[in-house]
Amino acid sequence: MDYILILIAAVFVNNIVLSQFLGICPFLGVSNKVSTSIGMSGAVLFVMTLATLVTYLIHQFVLVPSGLEYLRTISFILVIASLVQMVEIILKKVSPPLYQALGVFLPLITTNCAVLGGAILALGLEGGSLLKAVFFAISNSIGFALALIVFASIREQLELANIPKAMQGVPINLLVAGLLSLAFLGFAGLV
């Protein structure tokens, strides 16, 4: 039952992008096309899951026993940066079109506060174990993907709409993002 609550809470109630406002840069930057959003979601899923796994182990078995908890943020950032470099190398070899489509936003996963925030929030889970932390990371990634793909599909539809000149571009995107955030706020009473 705990895992179902974690999943519902991370995807809908406490969505990392729409409720906690972490990862806004890739949310607004990569959401021009659904295909690019799916690729970015996959990269974030991989990096967030692996980062949470590695950072949890580093925190529990290196930082806490050594009394170096204050180095948590810097060590987590180093782990995430290393993982993003690995993803970048893999994508360059496996899927060059996706690598080109993601462009500058792939390195931005390094500074994506959704990944760092997810890793830090996973440490604070009640009765936290490695399995719960990894499941929480996967759930957060699914929530990130859901928000990103829904936003990208709305943006694709907005290209066909007759929008006043003053609202085109960034203003309508921010308005839609705010409305999406309000829609997800409706799930607040679920968990």
pLDDT of 69 > 70? The answer is: yes
pLDDT of 171 > 80? The answer is: yes
**What is the value of pTM for the model shown?**
0.85
> What is the extent of the structural domain holding 153?
2-185
138-169: b (≥16 Cβ within 10 Å) or e? bbbbbbbbbbbbbbbebbeeeeeeeeeeeeee
* Cβ count within 10 A of residue 79: 22
Task: Output the six-digit token pair for 25.
Answer: 């840069």
Helices (H) and strands (E) counted in the chain, each on its own, are: 9, 0
Counted domains in the chain: 1
Indicate the range of 49-58, 59-68, 79-88, 149-158 predicted with least confidence: 79-88
Q: What percent of the chain has pLDDT over 70?
A: 94
pLDDT of residue 191: 64
Rg over alpha carbons for the chain, rounded to the nearest Å, is 17
pLDDT of residue 144: 92
83-92 pLDDT tens trace: 888 878 888 8
Q: Average pLDDT, stretch 12-39?
A: 82
* Cβ count within 10 A of residue 116: 21
Q: What's the half-sphere exposure (Cβ side, CA atoms, 13 Å) at 171?
A: 6
pLDDT of residue 74: 92
Cβ atoms of 132 and 125 closer than 8 Å: yes
94-137 pLDDT tens trace: 888 877 766 666 777 766 788 888 888 888 877 778 999 999 99
When the pLDDT of each residue in the chain is averaged and rounded to a whole number, the result is 85
Q: Which of 149, 164, 73, 147 is nearest to 115 (CA)?
A: 73
**DSSP alpha helices (H): ranges in 59-169?**
64-66, 72-94, 96-102, 113-123, 130-158
- Which carries the bigger pLDDT value, residue 62 or residue 98? 62
Is 111 part of a structural domain of the chain? yes
pLDDT of residue 99: 78
Is 190 part of a structural domain of the chain? no
Q: What percent of the chain has pLDDT over 90?
A: 20
pLDDT of residue 153: 92
Phi and psi at 119, nearest 5°, equal -65, -40
The whole-angstrom separation of Cα 106 and Cα 115 is 13
Is 163 part of a structural domain of the chain? yes
